[in-house]
Amino acid sequence: MAKKLFADGVSGKVAIYDPANPAAFTNPLANLQSVFFHSDLDYVGVAKIIDVTVTHPYRGVGGTAAQNSYAVPNFPAGNVNPLAHNLGYKPFGIAFVGNNMLPANSQIQDSGQSFRTVAIQVDENSVGIFESCYVYGSALPAINVTYKIVLFRQMTGQLDNKALHIEPDQFKAGFGKLDTDYNYLRYDAAAPDFYFSKGRTADVSNGSFRIVTANGALVQRSPYNGGFGGVPGIGVKI
Amino acid sequence: MSFFASNNRIRVTNDADKTIFDTAQPMPHIVQRLQVSTSVGFPNAPGRYWMTSAYLGESSLCQKYEQKYSCQLEYVCNGGTCSYQNVCAYRMEWVKYPAYLNTQGFEYDAYNWSTVVDLGAIANGIEADFIIANCIAYRTAQGSIIDVGPIPCGLPLGASFLANNSSIIESTSDVADGSPWLTRMMSLFVQNGHVYVEFKHSSRGVRQRSQWEGGLECNWSGPPSFVGNIPRSVPSNASSFQFTFDILIGKFTTP
């Protein structure tokens, strides 16, 4: 299939599309099968990558079982490690907990009836590892966990005033939508940095859970007895 | 920076020779942003208390030294004549009472529940390739389990968190063996040009003894009752949440 790079000096729109389908330039969303780049589309760039190892502290048990009462669980929860990103907007992102893109509030540690979970909290200036511990009969020892958090920049609106801008050290197209100064995401099945998914990545059955991440990693605790197989994700390279 | 163009491929690299754009590698882009709120009420998994009593018979473990009207043979002399006679009278003696071994506890039925909410249609009927989501969760009602109390939620309630695809909402362990016993979750997914969220609950049937187990109880004046301080009904474990989603619906360009 031929590719055509076309810049409209009047509208400022720039597109790379299949010339056999001219509508791909005027109405890209309805002709996505013929579009390779279009300045009307909002691309996903990488704004920041945070690699961090967090020491989750020791969490002791709560009240002991008295003769006439049950044990009292200890339930500490909070943001154990705020990490500044200073983007000035609340970003979208993906997170690896260890080697896996786990769902929010997944267990990262368990001992007896006790367990520790994490979720990734975001605001305009920072991301945080929000942990919660459910400590019943067994204390949770301190644990080190590595995190990789990729925060996205959504390339929306007019980012520049030039339809096409080519210099020896920079290429810009579509009012800055395509800019060699940025890291864009691209499909890559062979050696992806992470995965996008359109489906479920976890299931519950028999009181327990099974996680099948977008890259096929399986995390499960007995006695899960369902048949969840996950939804294959799409590999993405930065 | 390099710009390569041929009949079927356009590729742009930066100064470090890193590929920034390549028509041979589809780029993800956002076709729609969906900001929507919904609420869910996870139903109560049915549960109750139970008690069993094993009759142990009249037992020396349940005896009182008390006045009792009874008859017994006594050697009685009356007017120079002595003989054994059955003499009935009130007298103090050890009296045995029935003993019961009570066992008390609670039980929950196995319970599974799910519901799917349509959050909205995707413009142009596009079949999306992926979704990226942030979410803010509020818990409007917190359920409770009899042995461990309020059900914990590990989400940062009231704050925004990464909610791509599935998220665990609430979970507790079986106090007997530590395995997950109740788990509630949600999953965002796209299907047939719509974005949905599924809420799902699963809890196992369980029958537990109470921590204090009741133990031996003497029947002084009537049938055995529940051991003191044990509530007769289990609390509701129903929880309710409100979720505000900010969802990017994405598509890859054509390879």
pLDDT digits (tens, 9 = 90+) for B65-82: 999 898 989 999 888 899
Cβ of B4 under 8 Å from any chain A Cβ? no
pLDDT tops 60 at residue B150: yes
- Residue A45 is predicted with a pLDDT of 85
Count other C-beta atoms under 10 Å from residue A42's C-beta: 17
Domain definitions of chain A by residue range: 4-41+163-183, 42-162, 185-238
pLDDT tops 90 at residue B115: yes
Indicate the pLDDT class of residue A64, thresholds 50, 70 and 90. low
pLDDT tops 70 at residue B132: yes
The mean predicted confidence, pLDDT, of chain B is 88
Tell me the C-alpha distance between A73 and A78, whole Å. Answer: 16
- Tally the C-alpha atoms within 13 A of residue B142's C-alpha that lie toward its C-beta: 12
Local structure of residue A36 (DSSP, 8 states) = E
Q: Which of residues 45 through 64 in chain A touch B, CB cutoff 8 A?
A: none
Beta bridge partners of A96: A148
pLDDT tops 90 at residue A159: no
Domain definitions of chain B by residue range: 27-54+101-252
Indicate the pLDDT class of residue B7, thresholds 50, 70 and 90. low
Find the radius of gyration of the CA atoms of chain B: 36
Cβ of B15 under 8 Å from any chain A Cβ? yes
Tell me the C-alpha distance between A97 and B90, whole Å. Answer: 80
CA distances from B16 to A111, A119, A169, A180, B2 (A): 48, 35, 10, 10, 10
Q: Which residues of B touch A128 (CB under 8 A)?
A: 156
Mean pLDDT across B178-183: 94
Q: How far is CA A146 from the centre of its chain?
A: 15
pLDDT tops 60 at residue B211: no
Cβ of A222 under 8 Å from any chain B Cβ? yes
Tell me the C-alpha distance between A215 and A193, whole Å. Answer: 10
- The answer to whether the Cα torsion of B214, B217, B220, B225 is positive or negative is positive
Beta bridge partners of B131: B249
Kindly identify which residue of chain A lies nearest to residue B45, measuring between CA atoms: A207
- Residue A15 is predicted with a pLDDT of 85
Q: Which tens digits make up the pLDDT trace of B222-233?
A: 666 655 656 678
pTM summary value: 0.86
Mean pLDDT across B226-252: 86
- Residue A67 is predicted with a pLDDT of 43
pLDDT tops 50 at residue A32: yes
Cβ of B29 under 8 Å from any chain A Cβ? yes
pLDDT tops 50 at residue A50: yes
Indicate the pLDDT class of residue B22, thresholds 50, 70 and 90. confident
- Count of residues making up chain A: 238
Mean pLDDT across B185-191: 97
- Residue B136 is predicted with a pLDDT of 98
Architecture of domain A42-162: Sandwich (2.60)
The mean predicted confidence, pLDDT, of chain A is 87
Q: How far is A10 from chain B (nearest CA, A)?
A: 23
Mean pLDDT across B49-64: 87
Residue (of B108, B126, B135) closest to B39 by Cα position: B135
Cβ of B167 under 8 Å from any chain A Cβ? yes
Choose the weakest-confidence range: A178-182, B112-116, B132-136, B163-167. A178-182
